[in-house]
């Protein structure tokens, strides 16, 4: 569902005229290392894209080796399409672009060579940000080295080159992300070529330093050439020109998706205090709290090239992750079942300013109802978008949770998460196997003197079928007589009824007669979301039958005056008081009654 994102936040883009590798190779590698490690504005970040000017054919391989040797552990680079010619090699070399492997892929069909004067071509590359499918996550990168030197003829040639660049860029679709990089050799902000690059047409370039004057000591912080004062095989003159430009189009200036991070443009190692002198004259305060580090960087810049790198940071688009919290596989009708989408912005990195925001919305279909929205935090933090499951009827409650974002160029902009939950009918306890009967009258008869009298009461789960809940027999309570349950409790009732065995422990001491009692039978559904509890009532009439002794004439369980009264009323005739069976109630019967008295 999710693409694999490299562990980086913002995009670090660098342009650097490397003077055909005529400087010191070890110092050049040190400059590359410093580009990766630069944390003057935001955290350190390996280079993602670096464009080189003055890169002849013979320099391409060694240049790639130096870049690889400088890279942090695990970071590698791929060279984009490289083209050159004898005329370009004779004019200090062509353009070369390297991009971080796994961070981008090149769309080779987007590459073009453009003749822009000075016997050199400008190159255009098209790169797709890895893990993002949107065309808004593509970058057109132009690298140029326009005609050098002062004078109207050279300015005219630079204007012609700028016109070619703009004409080509203006054919690209509206909203294209375009970067113009390179050594433009322009001396002032009023030069016609610079005006051409930054005004009019479909895709004018935006200058992160602004379009005001950049000359003089007050603008030294913007200068890129030259870090050395005295020419060697490298051009000297001190830090006094802004030849190296990094412009971008409006689509990269809107703060959404791929976008320039404001305030991040800088010339590596330029502290603004070295106008018209070598970059390593005296102390270099590029890193204000670590002068030694700034001095070491200045020394590397001094011998590496006659230009200094320009670095800028771009934010990456958001990348959405959405999963569902685990849902119970089975619930009961009417259960409250929240459906929770867990959302996060997984565009990885170390600098929040380098990652676009991720607004999101969550909606459901079919049995998933409701909507939610919010702002997803950066991973590993998450936020919940909560919907609900419609459990109003038994069956399979299925649907789709759709999590979407309007964030520009976001990866995984729409994620669909399937939902399927079994909704089961409730149990239905009954004292009848054929009808829904919650109350029952029970006649319970046993002889006097019976110890622990017991009786079975069947309990059914009426209408049970399919996935309906089993009925769990939980227990009983009684009033009137101390009745307990000694069997059936804990049983789970499906299609076959289960008997609860009731016991009357005090039955042996009960005299013959009739005794009322009430038994409440507690039961419940299975332990599932939406579980309900039930109570059924048994109205019990307990009958204790009299003893079988003949002397207990009135059958009240005891031989006493009541029996004597019956005997005397029947004296001399037949009747129940004829204990000895002689046919006449007489003295013999009286003697037997008196001997059994009590």
Residue with token string 């660049």: 165
* Angle (nearest 5°) at CA 170 between 165 and 174: 140
Q: Collapsing DSSP states into helix, strand and coil, what is residue 405?
A: coil
How many Å apart are CA 368 and CA 557, to the nearest integer?
69
- Contact (CB, 8 A) for 136 and 408: yes
Instruction: Say yes or no: 386 and 529 in one domain.
Output: no
Instruction: Say yes or no: 179 and 140 in one domain.
Output: yes
How many Å apart are CA 362 and CA 486, to the nearest integer?
53
How many Å apart are CA 178 and CA 456, to the nearest integer?
86
How many Å apart are CA 161 and CA 225, to the nearest integer?
21
Q: Collapsing DSSP states into helix, strand and coil, what is residue 196?
A: helix
Last residue of a domain, one of 315, 334, 369: 315
* Angle (nearest 5°) at CA 506 between 502 and 508: 110
Q: What does DSSP assign to residue 505? A: G
Instruction: Say yes or no: 294 and 439 in one domain.
Output: no
List, in order, residues 6 or more apart from 326 with CB less than 8 Å away. Answer: none
Kindly tell me if the per-residue pLDDT of 449 is higher than 90: no
Give per-residue pLDDT as tens, 228-282: 999 999 999 999 999 999 999 999 999 999 999 999 999 999 999 999 999 999 9
Residue 416 is assigned to a structural domain of this protein: yes
Q: Collapsing DSSP states into helix, strand and coil, what is residue 245?
A: strand
Residue 556 is assigned to a structural domain of this protein: no
Residue 553 is assigned to a structural domain of this protein: no
Residue 32 is assigned to a structural domain of this protein: yes
Instruction: Say yes or no: 338 and 281 in one domain.
Output: no
The predicted structure's pLDDT at residue 547: 61
The whole-number average pLDDT for the span 185-198 is 98
The predicted structure's pLDDT at residue 353: 85
Last residue of a domain, one of 279, 296, 315: 315
Nearest to 96, CA basis, from 120, 130, 76, 129: 120
Band the pLDDT of 3: cuts 50, 70, 90.
very low
How many Å apart are CA 414 and CA 419, to the nearest integer?
16
Instruction: Say yes or no: 533 and 514 in one domain.
Output: yes
Instruction: Say yes or no: 175 and 305 in one domain.
Output: yes
92-96, 105-109, 302-306: segment of lowest average pLDDT = 92-96
Kindly tell me if the per-residue pLDDT of 6 is higher than 90: no
Instruction: Say yes or no: 183 and 234 in one domain.
Output: yes
Instruction: Say yes or no: 116 and 262 in one domain.
Output: yes
List, in order, residues 6 or more apart from 169 with CB less than 8 Å away. Answer: 140, 142, 176, 178, 180, 201, 202, 203, 249
The predicted structure's pLDDT at residue 4: 45
pTM exceeds 0.85, yes or no: no
Instruction: Say yes or no: 115 and 229 in one domain.
Output: yes
Residue 532 is assigned to a structural domain of this protein: yes
Q: What does DSSP assign to residue 355? A: B
- Contact (CB, 8 A) for 120 and 89: no
Q: What is the mean pLDDT of the chain?
A: 94
- Contact (CB, 8 A) for 476 and 502: yes
How many Å apart are CA 155 and CA 190, to the nearest integer?
11
List, in order, residues 6 or more apart from 96 with CB less than 8 Å away. Answer: 51, 52, 55, 60, 63, 79, 80, 82, 143
CA atoms within 13 A on the CB side of 338: 8
Give per-residue pLDDT as tens, 122-154: 999 999 999 999 999 999 999 999 999 999 999
Kindly tell me if the per-residue pLDDT of 190 is higher than 70: yes
Nearest to 559, CA basis, from 592, 522, 524: 592
Element (H, E) at 524: strand 513-525
The predicted structure's pLDDT at residue 395: 97
Percent of the chain residues past pLDDT 90, beyond the cut? 87
Q: Collapsing DSSP states into helix, strand and coil, what is residue 406?
A: coil
Residue 555 is assigned to a structural domain of this protein: no
How many Å apart are CA 302 and CA 225, to the nearest integer?
10
Give per-residue pLDDT as tens, 65-103: 999 999 999 999 999 999 998 888 888 889 999 999 999
Q: Collapsing DSSP states into helix, strand and coil, what is residue 499?
A: strand
Cis peptide leading into residue 226 (ω within 30°):
yes
**What is the spatial order of strands in the sheet that 498-504 belongs to?**
429-430, 453-461, 498-504, 484-487
Strand partners, 340: 386
Query: Range of 450's domain?
Result: 429-545
Task: Provide the domain count of the chain.
Answer: 4
Instruction: Say yes or no: 372 and 501 in one domain.
Output: no
Residue 550 is assigned to a structural domain of this protein: no
The domain that holds 378 is classified in CATH as: 2.60.40.10
The whole-number average pLDDT for the span 558-587 is 90
Last residue of a domain, one of 315, 336, 366: 315
Nearest to 359, CA basis, from 340, 324, 385, 338: 385
Cα-only R_g, the chain: 47
Residue 6 is assigned to a structural domain of this protein: no
Instruction: Say yes or no: 337 and 293 in one domain.
Output: no
Instruction: Say yes or no: 533 and 454 in one domain.
Output: yes
């Amino acid at each position: 569902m999710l693409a694999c994102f490299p562990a980086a936040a913002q995009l670090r883009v660098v342009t650097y005229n490397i003077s055909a590798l005529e400087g010191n190779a070890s110092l050049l590698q040190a400059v590359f290392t410093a580009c990766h490690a630069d944390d003057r504005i935001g955290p350190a970040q390996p280079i993602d894209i670096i464009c080189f000017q003055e890169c002849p054919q013979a320099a391409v391989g060694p240049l790639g080796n130096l870049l690889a040797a400088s890279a942090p552990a695990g970071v590698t680079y791929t060279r984009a399409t490289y083209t050159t010619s004898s005329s370009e090699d004779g004019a200090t070399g062509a353009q070369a672009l390297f991009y971080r492997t796994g961070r981008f892929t090149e769309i080779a069909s987007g590459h073009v060579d453009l003749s822009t004067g000075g016997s050199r071509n400008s190159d255009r590359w098209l790169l797709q940000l890895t893990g993002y499918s949107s065309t808004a996550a593509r970058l057109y990168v132009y690298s140029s080295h326009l005609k050098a030197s002062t004078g109207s003829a050279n300015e005219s040639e630079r204007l012609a080159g700028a016109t070619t660049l703009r004409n080509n860029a203006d054919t690209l679709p509206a909203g294209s992300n375009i970067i113009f990089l390179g050594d433009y050799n322009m001396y002032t902000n009023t030069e016609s070529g610079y005006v051409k690059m930054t005004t009019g047409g479909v895709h004018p370039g935006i200058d992160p330093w602004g379009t005001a004057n950049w000359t003089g000591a007050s603008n030294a912080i913007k200068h890129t050439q030259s870090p050395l004062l005295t020419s060697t095989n490298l051009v000297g003159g001190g830090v006094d020109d802004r030849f190296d430009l990094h412009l971008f189009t409006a689509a990269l200036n809107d703060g959404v998706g791929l976008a320039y991070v404001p305030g991040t443009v800088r010339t590596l190692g330029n502290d603004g205090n070295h106008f018209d002198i070598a970059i390593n004259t005296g102390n270099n305060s590029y890193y204000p709290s670590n002068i030694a580090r700034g001095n070491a960087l200045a020394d590397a810049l001094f011998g590496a090239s006659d230009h200094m790198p320009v670095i800028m940071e771009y934010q990456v688009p958001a990348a959405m992750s959405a999963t569902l919290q685990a849902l119970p596989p089975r619930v009961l009708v009417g259960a409250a079942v929240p459906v929770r989408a867990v959302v996060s912005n997984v565009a990885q990195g170390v600098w929040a300013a380098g990652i676009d925001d991720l607004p999101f919305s969550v909606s459901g279909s079919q049995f998933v109802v409701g909507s939610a929205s919010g702002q997803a935090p950066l991973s590993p933090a998450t936020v919940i978008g909560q919907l609900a499951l419609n459990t109003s009827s038994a069956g399979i409650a299925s649907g789709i949770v759709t999590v979407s974002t309007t964030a520009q160029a976001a990866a995984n902009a729409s994620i669909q998460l399937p939902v399927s939950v079994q909704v089961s009918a409730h149990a239905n306890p009954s004292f009848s196997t054929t009808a829904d009967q919650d109350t029952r009258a029970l006649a319970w008869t046993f002889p006097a003197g019976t110890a622990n009298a017991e009786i079975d009461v069947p309990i059914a789960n009426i209408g049970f079928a399919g996935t309906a809940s089993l009925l769990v027999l939980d227990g009983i309570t009684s009033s009137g007589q101390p009745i307990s349950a000694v069997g059936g409790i804990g049983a789970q009732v499906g299609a076959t009824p289960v008997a609860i065995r009731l016991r009357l422990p005090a039955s042996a001491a009960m005299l013959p007669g009739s005794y009322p009692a009430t038994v409440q039978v507690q039961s419940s559904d299975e332990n599932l979301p939406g579980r309900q509890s039930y109570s059924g009532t048994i109205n019990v009439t307990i009958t204790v039958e009299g003893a079988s002794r003949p002397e207990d004439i009135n059958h009240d369980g005891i031989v006493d005056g009541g029996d004597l009264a019956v005997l005397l009323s029947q004296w001399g005739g037949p009747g129940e008081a004829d204990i000895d069976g002689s046919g006449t109630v007489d003295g013999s019967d009286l003697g037997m009654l008196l001997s059994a008295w009590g």
